[in-house]
Amino acid sequence: MNQSTPELVIDRVSRNLSGRTIIEDLSLTLDRGEVLGLLGVNGAGKSTTLRMISGMLAPSSGSVTLGGLDLYANPERARRDIGYLPEEPPLYGELNVEEYLGFCARLHGLPRPTINAAVERVIERCELGEMRRRLTSLLSKGFRQRVGLAQAIVHEPALIVLDEPASGLDPIQALRLRELIRTLAVDHAVVLSTHVLSDVLACCDRVAILHQGRLRHSAVLSEIDAGSALRVQIEGDVDKDAWLHMPMVASAQIIDARCWRIRLRDGSSASDLAKAINDCSFGLLELRADGNALEDIFVRIATQPDTTEAAA
């Protein structure tokens, strides 16, 4: 495969179910080594998108290609390169962890001599050693999720698709899962869906926000943070023009009545802004780096159904 070709290309994909448009004109790309977070409220179309990426569901229009192969024109070959963890881990309760992972490895076409080594590797990677002989039906939620993840990576796929992987986990389990996902991203392309912003911030390189089946925002997380600049809390009510009259302010965005997100022009500093606010007698209460830019974007999109923010 050509190294310059993105691992996963979703090109103008739409999906209708029962006469309703679930996904509309979605385009995304993903390279090996990247983690893409699909963010959206419940019903935004995240799971449908992941089911299409994993080959579970055919798009009504558009195409999904993996490593240059169309997922539906070459389904069997392409899908061997995908590891999919659905929202509910697909575990056979009658099998123990080791038997189950062995079955998954064979199902994904691993040659027989390599199966034992692959199962051992994934048991170690997902820290399932103490549970290896336990029936999957007897596992706790956290271990079920880990076994689900193990089945998705046992065959070392190029693309790993995870639907709400941290759902139902306690904070410690969620933390360890995030660490695991970060380590997976070294060798694989990873797509995960979630409605938990902290998961995206902790695991992902890029974020795509879906709302009502459409891609409303797509960005590299580091760019969101870099561009977010400052959050300013003031005593008085001011309008946007008052901010824009300040020479160091590139843009101003209201968060609530007295809280603003301010982006500075190149070469300006936070102290310049603080001085200007004092000079204008706005009554500065708080000035800090804006670490919640993603949250604000998400909340704005999720609460304004008619938003027309262009996808990057």
Partner 1 sequence: MKTIRLIAGNDIKRQFAQPFAWILLALVTILLAWQFLLLFEVYLELASKLNAADPRGASDSVALPVLRILSGLLLLIAPLATMQSLAGERRAHTLPLLLAAGVGNLRIVIGKFLGAFALVALIVLIAVCMPLSLEFGTTLDLGRLAAATLGLLLFSASLTAIGIACSAWTAHPALAAAAALIISSLLALIDMGARLQGVNNELINWMSLSTHLEPFFFGLIASVDIVYFLLVTMLALLFAARRLDSLRTRG
- Residues contributing to the site for partner 1 (CB under 8 A): 15, 17-18, 48, 51, 54-58, 75-80, 82, 84, 86, 88-95, 103-104, 106-109, 151
Residues near 222 by beta carbon (within 8 Å), at least 6 away in sequence: 205
Instruction: For the CB of residue 35, give the shortest distance to partner 1 in the complex, in Å.
Output: 19
Minimum CB distance to partner 1 smaller for 132 or for 176: 132
Cα torsion at 233, 287, 242, 247 (round to 10°)? -170
Q: What angle do CA 64, 69, 74 make, to 5 degrees?
A: 95
Identify the CA nearest to 128 among candidates 151, 161, 105: 151
Sign of CA dihedral 17, 23, 25, 30: negative
Strand partners, 66: 8, 69
Instruction: For the CB of residue 241, give the shortest distance to partner 1 in the complex, in Å.
Output: 50
Instruction: For the CB of residue 12, give the shortest distance to partner 1 in the complex, in Å.
Output: 18
Instruction: For the CB of residue 184, give the shortest distance to partner 1 in the complex, in Å.
Output: 17
Strand partners, 231: 261, 288
Minimum CB distance to partner 1 smaller for 54 or for 212: 54
Minimum CB distance to partner 1 smaller for 19 or for 171: 19
Minimum CB distance to partner 1 smaller for 159 or for 273: 159
Q: Which ranges in the chain belong to alpha helices (H)?
A: 46-53, 75-79, 97-107, 112-125, 141-153, 171-184, 197-203, 221-228, 240-244, 270-279, 293-303
Instruction: For the CB of residue 164, give the shortest distance to partner 1 in the complex, in Å.
Output: 13
| Cα separation, 297 vs 273, whole angstroms | 23
Instruction: For the CB of residue 198, give the shortest distance to partner 1 in the complex, in Å.
Output: 26
Minimum CB distance to partner 1 smaller for 77 or for 288: 77
| Cα separation, 81 vs 281, whole angstroms | 60
Residue with tokens 């956290």: 142
Minimum CB distance to partner 1 smaller for 31 or for 87: 87
